[in-house]
């Protein structure tokens, strides 16, 4: 090896190899996969969409505003409030970047859905409200609606050999946007009313998402004056700063190699989103003036996690070479034992693809 390989050059090679091996699109299925077929997608860590996969569910047939209010009535539910619909988002406050969670409070369901619909129509101003607790709420505070959906997704339950750890209910309007993030769950996402719009990036994008550790804050105050308040005791959380919708964010040496996948879920559509995939989510309201979804979270298998660990191991090794902590001669000897950086790049990309 005549010269040290820079970390950036190795990552460019890795991203190009991954792009060569993987299409920048999702598979679109017209029926549910078998458990074996689903397991192949899990092993390859690749998403897919089943068009109309849930159209026969009672939820897709029944869940209009009138029915939801009839079932839930004035039951208190948790609702997230933000000034602009940016829950769990990066906010600049006095020239400092903060990761700000929404203010949460209990409100009668009938009032929540009425507010969401009136705001969608432009009838009322004020904070954006979103039901988004992500704590198995469909089997808890929305349990009266749970009978209208399957208790599990059979092909995922059989393949993963476990029931879902959480089943979540989401209700909002077009003003709610979820910023780029990842979850350590195998996710089966189902659109009931309206549309959800996803921008997806694979785990290999970790080198490009500009993750930083930011102070944690939460919105507080009255409805007309929500403002971020730092949490006590102080905490910091790792947050990706990349926004795939911002062309300036996507013009760098590495980010220009990313190929975000865009997919819209219509009513009755189902999507498998693998663990550790980055996703940004927006939504559109349907004829009922709200968007409603549910998702099933299954504990992830170690396959995608292992691929990401190998990827970061490769990054650490190339960084050591570029910094001089590993000399060219020692790197050359390692190439005999480990295949060197170029085979490692190919092996990692292949593992993520297969």
From 34-43, 131-140, 238-247, the region with the lowest mean pLDDT = 238-247
pLDDT at 342 over 70: no
pTM over 0.75: yes
- Helices 328-338, 341-353: axis angle to 10 degrees equals 40
- Alpha helices (H) along the chain: 7-21, 35-44, 58-62, 65-72, 109-120, 154-160, 302-323, 328-338, 341-353
Confidence of residue 341 (pLDDT cuts 50, 70, 90): very low
Specify the 3-state DSSP secondary structure of 76.
strand
Topology annotation, domain 28-245+259-302: Jelly Rolls (2.60.120)
Of 56, 37, 53, 44, nearest to 18 by C-alpha is 44
pLDDT tens per residue, range 280-325: 999 999 899 999 999 999 998 765 444 554 454 444 444 443 444 3
In the chain, where are the structural domains located? 28-245+259-302
Work out whether strand 96-101 and strand 211-220 pair parallel, antiparallel, or are unpaired: parallel
Measured distance CA(122)–CA(30) in Å, rounded: 37
pLDDT of residue 300: 84
């Amino acid at each position: 090896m005549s010269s040290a390989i820079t970390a950036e050059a190795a990552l460019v090679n890795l991203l190009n190899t991954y792009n060569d091996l993987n299409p920048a699109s999702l598979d679109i299925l017209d029926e549910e996969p078998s458990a074996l077929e689903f397991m192949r997608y899990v092993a390859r860590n690749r998403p897919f969409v089943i068009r109309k996969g849930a159209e026969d569910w009672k939820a897709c047939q029944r869940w209009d505003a009138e029915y939801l209010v009839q079932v839930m009535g004035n039951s208190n539910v948790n609702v997230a409030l933000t000034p602009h619909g940016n829950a769990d988002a990066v906010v600049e406050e006095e020239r400092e970047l903060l990761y700000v969670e929404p203010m949460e409070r209990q409100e009668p369901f009938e009032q929540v859905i009425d507010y969401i619909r009136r705001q969608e129509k432009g009838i009322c101003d004020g904070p954006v409200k979103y039901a988004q607790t992500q704590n198995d709420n469909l089997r808890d505070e929305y349990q009266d609606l749970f009978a209208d959906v399957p208790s599990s997704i059979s092909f995922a339950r059989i393949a993963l050999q476990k029931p879902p750890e959480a089943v979540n209910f989401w209700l909002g309007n077009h003003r709610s946007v979820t910023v780029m993030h990842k979850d350590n769950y195998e996710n089966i996402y189902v659109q009931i009313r309206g549309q959800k719009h996803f921008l997806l990036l694979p785990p290999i994008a970790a080198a490009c998402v500009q993750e930083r550790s930011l102070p944690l804050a939460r919105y507080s105050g009255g409805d007309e004056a929500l403002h971020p308040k730092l949490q006590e005791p102080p905490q910091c959380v790792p947050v990706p700063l990349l926004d795939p919708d911002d062309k300036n964010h996507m013009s760098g040496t590495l980010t220009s190699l990313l190929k975000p996948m865009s997919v819209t879920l219509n009513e009755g559509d189902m999507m498998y989103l693998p663990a550790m995939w980055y996703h940004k989510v927006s939504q559109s309201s349907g004829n009922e003036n709200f968007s409603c979804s549910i998702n099933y979270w299954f504990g992830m298998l170690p396959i995608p996690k292992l691929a990401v660990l190998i990827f970061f191991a490769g990054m650490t090794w190339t960084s050591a070479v570029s910094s001089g902590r590993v000399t060219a001669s020692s790197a050359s000897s390692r190439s005999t034992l480990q295949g060197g950086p170029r085979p490692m790049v190919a092996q990692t990309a292949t593992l993520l693809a297969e």
